Amino acid sequence: MKGNEIIAVTSQSLDGLNALVDPRFGRCRAFTIVKIQSGDIVDTQVLENPAMMAGGGAGIQAAQTVGNSGAQIVITGNLGPNASSALQGLGITTYIGASGNVESAINAYLSGSLQQATSANVPSHFGMGRGGGQGGGRGGGMGRQGGGRGQW
């Protein structure tokens, strides 16, 4: 029944209900776990996301963290294919398009204004930046003389 559940919300900080929703699932900073009874928030807990800096498989690792928390629902901004499959496999319902702070995302869910995700809405590695890695392409290259500028 809607209004009696445990919800994990992707969060940009450890500020609980005041944290901004992180648009990324697998590489969010934390999950704010919110217990709802009769449509009211009765408890919150913040879990750091151990997959935030993972080299790969962040979505799957983050899904395991959420599953271990007892959450039945995930609220996030976006969801990649690996995370989507992992969460579905755990029987966790997902909602996308959340923004603002965690409390407003919970209220949006309770009012029925969030979109339930039936599949991923972004490609793999969405949260890693344009280059598919966390470095953002700022390095000069490993093992190259002259910083990778063709000065062999």
pLDDT computed for residue 126 by the predictor: 55
Domain that holds residue 78: 5-122
Could you report the per-residue pLDDT of 105-127, keeping only the tens digit for each? 999 999 999 999 987 756 565 55
Residue 22: closest CA among 74, 92, 98, 90:
98
Amino acid at 151: Q
Radius of gyration of the chain (CA): 17
CATH number at residue 115: 3.30.420.130
Could you report the per-residue pLDDT of 23-77, keeping only the tens digit for each? 999 999 999 999 999 999 999 999 999 999 987 889 999 999 999 999 999 999 9
C-alpha span between 65 and 11 (Å, rounded): 14
Under 8 Å CB-to-CB from 47, ≥6 apart: which residues?
Answer: 30, 31, 33, 65, 69
For 9, list phi and psi in degrees, rounded to 5: -115, 125
pLDDT computed for residue 132 by the predictor: 45
Total tally of structural domains belonging to the chain: 1
Under 8 Å CB-to-CB from 33, ≥6 apart: which residues?
Answer: 6, 7, 8, 44, 45, 46, 47, 69, 70, 71
pTM listed for this prediction: 0.79
Q: Is residue 138 part of a domain?
A: no
Q: Is residue 29 part of a domain?
A: yes
